[in-house]
Amino acid sequence: MTRDIVIVGGGTAGWMAAAMLSRFLERGWRITLVESEEIGTVGVGEATIPPIRAFNSSLGLDEDEFVRATKATFKLGIEFVGWRGDGHRYMHAFGPVGRELGIVSFHHYWRRARALGLAQELGAYSFNAVAAQQDRFGRTLPAGTSLAAPPYAFHFDAGLYAAFLRRYAEARGVRRVEGKVVEAARGDSGIASVRLESGESVAGELFIDCSGFRGLLIEQALGAGFEDWSHWLPCDRAMAMPCAHSGGFTPYTRATARSAGWQWRIPLQHRIGNGYVYSSAHLSDDEAAAALLANLDGEPLGDPRALRFAAGRRRSAWVGNCVALGLAAGFLEPLESTSIHLVQSGLVRLLQLLPSPSGIGAAEVAEYNRQTRFEWERIRDFLILHYKATDRPEPLWRAAAAMEIPPSLADRISLFREAGRVFREGEELFTENGWVQVLIGQGIVPESWHPLAELLSEDELGGFLATVKRQIDHHSAAWPLHRDIVARIAGSPA
Ligand SMILES: Cc1cc2nc3c(=O)[nH]c(=O)nc-3n(C[C@H](O)[C@H](O)[C@H](O)COP(=O)(O)OP(=O)(O)OC[C@H]3O[C@@H](n4cnc5c(N)ncnc54)[C@H](O)[C@@H]3O)c2cc1C
C-alpha cells in the first residue's frame, strides 16, 4: 500500500521537508509538493546555526557543492554591537568558551580570575570568537590539541537552498505540482484533499503545511490558534535590503542594536544581506528604510523590502493529519537565526513520531506538540533575554527593560546572577555556553562563582587562563582567512 504525503508550500520549509522525507521514506510513500510561483516565498533567511550541518549530511550532501550552490559563507557566531550602548560589542560564538577543568564550567574560573584582575573579556577565551574577529576560518584543528573541534554554520541564500533541495527531492521521486490551493476539503482525520485553482484535487493521508505566514491548512482550515508573544518580542516588521561587498568578509553574523530594533548584516559570496527588524509602534517604514540605507557597508542592490510578522506560534503545530513547519508554525525573529533550524527539528520529530498505517495516534500528536512547545518556549526566552537586558535610552528599549518576563526566564537570570549557575534543560536548543555568553555579554555578570573554583591558587588560576588563551591564539592565527577559503571552494570545479 502506498501512503501519500502532501506538502503545501515550496519555500525553504517545503523543500527541506520534501528533501528529508524523500531521503528517509524511500519505500511505501508518495510525496507531492504543491507550490504557487505566483504567490512566491518570503525570500529572506540567510543565517543558520551548526545543526544545519547534520541536516545536510543526513541527506548526503557534499558540503563544498552546497556552498557553491547556495553562495554560502561560513559562520562562527553572532556579534552583538551596541546592545549596551553605542560602541559596546560582544560575541555569541558557537562552541565552548575556555576549557573544562574538573566538574566546574570555565566561566566560574573566569569570573573569579576577573575579580582578581587576572582575566580578559570572556570572548577572549572562545576559540570561535577570537578566530572570527580576525576574519579567519577553518573546518578543523590540528590533531593533538586539547581544544574541542570548533562548530560552525553557514550564511546562505535561502532561495538558492530551496532550489538546491528541490533538485535533490525531485531526483528522489517527489512530484511537484504548480498551482494555487484555493480550498482544503475536510475529512474524518483532518484534511482529505486540497483543491487547486486549476480544479485539480490532491488527496493525502498526511499534510505538511509549509504555506508560510498564512498557515493555509493549520490555521485557515483547522483553526489551530496563534499564541501571540509580541508583548515580549515587540518587533513586528523587517526592512530588508542587500548591498555589495565592501570591507570585511566576516565569518559571523552581526546584529547591531538600533533605536527601534536591530539590524542584521549577513555576508554571502555575492552580496551582503541586511535588514532592520523594528517595532512599528516606534518607527515608520520610511524611517526604517532610511536608517537601513544610511547603515550599509556598500552600494545598495535593489529597493528596500518590507515584511510584516507577529512573534508567536501556533498553539498546536500538529492538528489532525496536518503538521505545520516553517512560518506556518509561527515566527521568532531572526536574532539568533533559529527559524530554519525549527524546520529541521520539526522534521526530525515528525520522523520519530511517523504515524503507522493503522492511523494517527492521539498520544503521538500530543507528544509532538509537547516537544514543539518546549523547544519554542526556550528559544523565545533566549530572545527575550536580549531585549530585557539591553541598556539603551530609546523608548522601545526602556519599555523592554521594564517588562515582566516569563517566570522560566526570570528564574534562570536570578540563578545565574547569584553565582553563575546555568543549566541546559532537557533538549533545549541553546547550550550552557550560549546562555553564558549572552547573559554576560548583556551585562548580567554573576556576583560570585562556584566554590570549587576556589581550589586553585591565584597563580594556578592565572596560569590556567593564560594557557587556554595561548592555545586559542596560536591555533586561530594558523587558520586561513575566511575570504580565501570561500574563494577556493567557490572557484573549485563542481
Ligand atoms: C525578516 C526575516 C528574516 C529571517 N531571517 C532568517 C535567518 O536569518 N535565519 C533563519 O533561519 N530564518 C530566517 N527567517 C525565516 C526564514 O525565512 C523562513 O523560516 C524560511 O524561509 C521558511 O519559510 P517558509 O518556507 O515557511 O515560508 P515561505 O517562504 O513564505 O514559503 C511559503 C510557500 O507556500 C506557498 N504558498 C502559499 N500559499 C499558497 C497557496 N494558496 N497555494 C500554493 N502554494 C502556496 C508559497 O508559494 C511558497 O512556496 C527570516 C524570516 C524573516 C521574515
Each residue's pLDDT, cut to its tens digit, for the chain (494 residues) gives 779 999 999 999 999 999 999 999 988 999 999 999 999 998 787 999 999 999 999 999 999 999 999 999 999 999 999 999 889 999 999 999 999 898 899 999 999 999 999 999 999 999 999 999 999 999 988 877 877 778 999 999 999 999 999 999 999 999 999 999 999 999 988 999 999 999 999 999 999 999 999 999 999 999 999 999 999 999 999 999 999 998 779 999 999 999 999 999 999 999 999 999 999 999 999 999 999 999 999 999 989 999 999 999 999 999 999 999 999 999 999 999 999 999 999 999 999 999 998 889 999 999 999 999 999 999 999 999 999 999 999 999 999 999 999 999 999 999 999 999 999 999 899 999 999 999 999 999 999 999 999 999 999 999 999 999 999 999 999 999 999 999 999 986 54
Domain locations in the chain?
Answer: 3-63+156-227+314-363
Q: Is 34 in the pocket of ligand 1 (CB under 6 A)?
A: yes
CA of 162 to the centre of ligand 1 (A): 10
For the CA of 49, the closest atom of ligand 1 is: 11
CA of 332 to the centre of ligand 1 (A): 12
For the CA of 38, the closest atom of ligand 1 is: 47
Beta carbons of 45 and 340 less than 8 angstroms apart: yes
- Give me the pLDDT at residue 1, please: 74
If one residue of 6, 7, 12, 292 were mutated to test the ligand 1 pocket, choosing by the most ligand atoms within 8 A of its CB, it would be 12
- Give me the pLDDT at residue 494, please: 46
CA of 153 to the centre of ligand 1 (A): 20
The CA distance from 19 to 9, in Å, is 13
Q: Is 10 in the pocket of ligand 1 (CB under 6 A)?
A: yes
The CA distance from 454 to 92, in Å, is 27
Would you please indicate which residues are annotated as catalytic (active-site) residues? 75
**Main-chain phi, psi angles of 32, to 5 degrees:** -120, 135
Q: What grid cell was written down for 476?
A: 586561530
If one residue of 6, 20, 41 were mutated to test the ligand 1 pocket, choosing by the most ligand atoms within 8 A of its CB, it would be 41
Q: Is 181 in the pocket of ligand 1 (CB under 6 A)?
A: yes
The CA distance from 118 to 125, in Å, is 13
Nearest CA to ligand 1 atom 4: 45
Q: Is 40 in the pocket of ligand 1 (CB under 6 A)?
A: yes
Q: What grid cell was written down for 246?
A: 565592501
CATH number of 3-63+156-227+314-363: 3.50.50.60
